[in-house]
Amino acid sequence: MDTEKRKQELLLKKEELISKESRVTQGIRHTENELSRNFEDQATERENDEVLDALKNGINLEIRQIDAALMRINEGSYGICVSCGKQVGAKRQEALPYATQCIECASN
Interatomic CA distance for residues 1 and 42, integer angstroms:
50
pLDDT at 32: 46
Q: How far apart are the first and last CA of the chain?
A: 26
Residue 13 buriedness (CB in 10 A; 0-12 / 13-18 / 19+): middle
Interatomic CA distance for residues 82 and 101, integer angstroms:
6
pLDDT at 1: 62
Please give the average pLDDT of every successive group of 10 residues along the chain, which has 108 residues: 90 97 77 61 75 92 98 96 96 95 95
pLDDT at 30: 52
pLDDT at 29: 62
Does an H or E element contain 14, and which? helix 3-27
